[in-house]
Amino acid sequence: MSKKFLIKHVGNMGDMVFFAPPILETLKKKHPDCHITFVTAWGFKNKKNVYGKRNQSGFCIALMQSNPDIDQLVHFHETKLALDGSYCIEEGRRIPTWSKKYYEDQKKSGTYDGVYELDLGIEQDENPMKKMYNVVGLPEETNANYKLYLSQKDRAVAREVMSKYPHPRIVLLEGLEGRTTRGWNADQISELEQRITLTYGAPPIWFGGKYVREYQGRPLTLRENIATLTYCDAAIGVLSGPLHFAAAVGLPVLTLLCDQPLHRADPAYFLNEYITDDAKKHRTLLGPTGYKMGFLKEGSTQINLTPQEWKNQGYVDWNMPGNQATKSCLSVITVDEIMAVLTDMVHNPTI
C-alpha cells in the first residue's frame, strides 16, 4: 500500500521555494507512490497573531498550488472549515480549508503514515535543510535543489510582458533598497542604477511586490510576476523572498550577504552544484562580518558596534534601524564591488 504523508508549513515566501519543494521532491523519490497532503496558509499572520485573512496575494497557496509533488493542497485557517473549497478559491480552483481544530483531529486520526510539521525555529549555526530532513525521517538526504514551478500560462504572459525590455536585463530585487537590517545602503541605489545603465546600455529592472507589471490591463499574478525573471540575465539582491524567487527559477543572482553563515540561505551555497554553465552560477559578496553573527533582526545590529556607534544609530527596530551607513556590515559593500562581480556574470557590455 502507498504511504500517506501529512505535511504542514505555513512559513514565509522564501520557505515556499527554498525549503518545502526539495523536501516534497525527495519524499516522492523515496516513496514514488506516496500521497502527500500539504497544509499551508494564505499568507502572513495578522496583527492578532493568527492565520486568516488573505494577504500578499495569498502567496503560500499561490506558490504551492502548481507544485507537482503535492497530491492534495489544503488551506489552513485558525477558525474556518470548508472542506468543499468554497472559502478558498484561487485561479478558479477550489482548495479545501481546514480549521486549526480539524487539522489537529487529522493529525490524531491514524490516517497518515507520517505527520511532519516544518514550521521550525532555526538557530544561527543550524543548516535548515538538514534540520527539515531530520524531521521527515531522512537524515542522510542532501537534496537542496530548491525550485519554483510555473505554468505554461505563467511563462507565456511573462514572455510577452518582458519582450519590450532590451538585453541585458539586469534585475534589482526589492529589499536591496529597504532601510531595514537586511537591506543594503539605499543611498547608493541611484549610483548603482546609473553605473549599470552606462555600462550595459540598458537601465536595470526592479522586481518585487511594489513593481508588479500589467498584462492586458490587469496586474500580473504572483507567479506571472516571478516568471518575468526567467527572461532576465542577472539579478542583485539581499536575503529576501524576491532573491529566492530569482534563484529558484534559474536566474543567476548576486547575493549581498553578511552576518549569516552561507549554509543558512545563500543560493550560491545550495544551488551551484546543479548549474553546469559557469556563467550562470550564483555569486555572493560578503560584507565584513564582525566577531559574532546575528540574524540581522532584533538586537543583532548592536553586537558588532561600539557603545558610541550604537548610541548614534537611532535604532527603533529591525525595520527602522536608524543610521543606514553604520547599521550593519552589509551597508559597506560598494557599488564598485558589485559592478566588478556583475562583469563576471554579464558578458555583453556595450562599452
Do the Cβ atoms of 45 and 53 come closer than 8 Å? no
Residue 349 has pLDDT above 50, yes or no: no
Residues 88 and 168 in one domain: no
266 in helix, strand or coil?
Answer: coil
Say if 142 falls within a structural domain.
no
Question: What is the edge-to-edge ordering of all strands in the sheet holding 97-99?
Answer: 97-99, 72-77, 35-40, 4-8, 114-117
Say if 146 falls within a structural domain.
no
Residues 9 and 101 in one domain: yes
- Structural domains in the chain (count): 2
Q: Indicate the range of 37-51, 79-93, 156-170, 190-204 predicted with least confidence.
A: 37-51
What is the model's pLDDT at position 164?
95
39 in helix, strand or coil?
Answer: strand
Where a domain ends, among 81, 110, 135? 135
Which comes out higher in pLDDT, residue 182 or 131?
A: 131
- What's the pLDDT band for 291 if we cut at 50, 70, 90? low
Q: Which of 191-195, 261-265, 324-328 is modeled with the greatest confidence?
A: 191-195
Residues 123 and 209 in one domain: no
- What's the pLDDT band for 292 if we cut at 50, 70, 90? low
Residues 88 and 163 in one domain: no
Where a domain ends, among 72, 103, 135? 135
| Phi, psi of 301, deg, nearest 5 | -70, -15
Residue 294 has pLDDT above 80, yes or no: no
Residue 283 has pLDDT above 60, yes or no: yes
Residue 282 has pLDDT above 50, yes or no: yes
Residues 181 and 130 in one domain: no
Where a domain ends, among 135, 160, 186? 135
- What's the pLDDT band for 128 if we cut at 50, 70, 90? confident
CA distances from 246 to 48, 100, 110, 127 (A): 32, 33, 39, 21
Tell me the whole-structure pTM to 2 decimals: 0.86
Residues 95 and 240 in one domain: no
- Residue range 143-162: mean pLDDT, rounded: 92
Q: Which residue range is the domain that position 339 belongs to?
A: 152-345
Residues 210 and 287 in one domain: yes
- Residue range 248-270: mean pLDDT, rounded: 87
Which comes out higher in pLDDT, residue 248 or 330?
A: 248
Say if 143 falls within a structural domain.
no
| Phi, psi of 24, deg, nearest 5 | -65, -45
Q: Which of 179-183, 274-278, 332-336 is modeled with the greatest confidence?
A: 332-336
Say if 147 falls within a structural domain.
no
Q: Is the peptide bond before 168 cis (omega within 30 degrees of 0)?
A: yes
What is the model's pLDDT at position 296?
56
Say if 144 falls within a structural domain.
no
CA angle 104, 107, 113 (to 5 degrees): 170
- What's the pLDDT band for 298 if we cut at 50, 70, 90? low
CATH number reported for the structural domain that contains residue 31 in this entry: 3.40.1260
Say if 162 falls within a structural domain.
yes
Which pLDDT tens digit goes with each residue over 34-78?
Answer: 999 999 999 888 877 888 888 888 889 999 999 999 999 999 999
- Residue range 18-45: mean pLDDT, rounded: 93
What is the model's pLDDT at position 179?
76
Determine how many CB atoms are found less than 10 A away from the CB of residue 110.
Answer: 7
> Beta 205-207 vs 214-215: how paired, if at all?
unpaired
Residues 232 and 302 in one domain: yes
CA angle 76, 80, 84 (to 5 degrees): 80
Position of cell 531595514?
180
| Phi, psi of 6, deg, nearest 5 | -115, 120
Q: What is the mean pLDDT of the chain?
A: 88
Residues 129 and 160 in one domain: no
What is the model's pLDDT at position 48?
79
Residue 350 has pLDDT above 60, yes or no: no
Do the Cβ atoms of 328 and 181 come closer than 8 Å? yes
Per the rule left: phi > 0, alpha: psi between -120 and 50, beta: everything else, 94 is: beta
Residues 213 and 292 in one domain: yes
Residue 279 has pLDDT above 60, yes or no: yes
Residues found in the chain: 351
Residue 4 has pLDDT above 70, yes or no: yes
- Residue range 173-185: mean pLDDT, rounded: 83
Which comes out higher in pLDDT, residue 186 or 320?
A: 186
Q: Indicate the range of 20-29, 55-64, 114-123, 294-303 predicted with least confidence.
A: 294-303
CATH number reported for the structural domain that contains residue 281 in this entry: 3.40.50.2000
C-alpha cell at 66: 502548481
Say if 140 falls within a structural domain.
no
Residues 177 and 244 in one domain: yes
Residues 17 and 162 in one domain: no
Say if 42 falls within a structural domain.
yes
